[in-house]
């Protein structure tokens, strides 16, 4: 937090205050319901440099909370600004950035360079760890926003198009290397797919055709199952898939 630019610290403080006041007075979401405010937040969401990611996550948390308590905000975000597509596309970009980083498996399993290693080597390792952590956190928050969107009335009326959109594409890509993108993301992806199928079992053929369902089943192994979050979602998901 100390390394954040001053304007980001101010922004994050203001958004935190907004969420606190919203808990006691939902009328404060009227201010966020203005299209200009939502558009500005969606524009900030496009920031991809590591130093900006904490502010992006804060913006996404604020949108998640505001949508939960304000129907006008949900209407503007999901109907007028295609919020589900915006979140899914941004998630796809983050997953691509994670996949492009130079490491295999789970970076947290890698041994850090010894103390006598060159400073550049040690710096490179810790910078990679910092970037992976920040990008995984952002991906996880984006998945939360996507889950909120999928339960919104403004999105549910047009859910048929979700199978041809960026959400299915990014889920397929994440399933290719679950340990690289993060096992918590993999677990949340299982939860999203399970809920879509549970809501409408007739979606199973579409899930199979899009290769998402076979991808999930194929990715379940001893490496992915070591995650507590994966384990918590797998039993429910397995029941839905078999049903």
41-75: pLDDT as tens digits? 899 999 999 999 999 999 999 889 888 877 888 88
pTM reported for the whole predicted model: 0.83
SS3 content of the chain, % helix, strand, coil (to 5): 80, 0, 20
Compute the distance between CA of residue 189 and CA of residue 145 in angstroms, rounded to an integer: 13
Residue 28: per-residue pLDDT = 52
Residue 22 — pLDDT band, cuts 50, 70, 90?
A: low
More confident of the two residues 44 and 204: 44
* Cβ-count burial 195-232 (b if 16+ within 10 Å, e if not): ebbeeeeebeebbeebebbebbeebbeeebeebebbee
Res 239 pLDDT > 70: no
**CA-CA-CA-CA torsion sign (125, 130, 131, 135):** positive
Compute the distance between CA of residue 67 and CA of residue 236 in angstroms, rounded to an integer: 27
- Number of residues that this document lists for the chain: 243
In 3D space, the residue among 115, 191, 122 whose CA is nearest the CA of residue 151 turns out to be 191
- E strand or H helix at 90: helix 83-100
Note the pLDDT tens digit of each residue in 101-139.
988 777 888 888 998 999 999 999 999 999 999 999 999
């Amino acid at each position: 937090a100390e390394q954040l630019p001053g304007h980001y610290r101010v922004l994050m403080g203001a958004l935190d205050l907004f969420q606190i006041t919203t808990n006691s007075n939902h009328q404060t979401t009227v201010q966020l319901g203005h299209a200009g405010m939502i558009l500005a937040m969606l524009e900030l969401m496009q920031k991809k440099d590591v130093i900006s990611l904490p502010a992006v996550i804060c913006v996404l948390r604020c949108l998640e909370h505001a949508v939960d308590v304000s129907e006008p905000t949900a209407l503007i975000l999901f109907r007028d600004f295609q919020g589900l597509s915006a979140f899914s596309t941004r998630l796809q970009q983050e997953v691509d950035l994670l996949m492009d980083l130079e490491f295999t498996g789970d970076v947290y399993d890698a041994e850090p360079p010894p103390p006598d290693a060159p400073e550049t080597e040690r710096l490179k390792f810790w910078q990679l760890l910092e970037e992976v952590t920040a990008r995984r956190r952002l991906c996880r928050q984006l998945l939360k926003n996507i889950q909120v969107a999928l339960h919104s009335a403004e999105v549910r009326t047009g859910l048929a198009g979700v199978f041809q959109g960026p959400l299915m594409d990014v889920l397929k890509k994440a399933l290719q290397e679950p340990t690289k993108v993060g096992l918590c993301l993999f677990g949340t992806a299982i939860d999203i797919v399970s809920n879509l199928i549970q809501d409408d079992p007739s979606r199973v053929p579409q899930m199979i055709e899009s290769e998402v369902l076979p991808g999930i089943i194929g990715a379940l192994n001893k490496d992915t199952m070591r995650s507590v979050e994966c384990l918590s979602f797998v039993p429910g998901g397995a029941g839905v898939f078999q049903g």
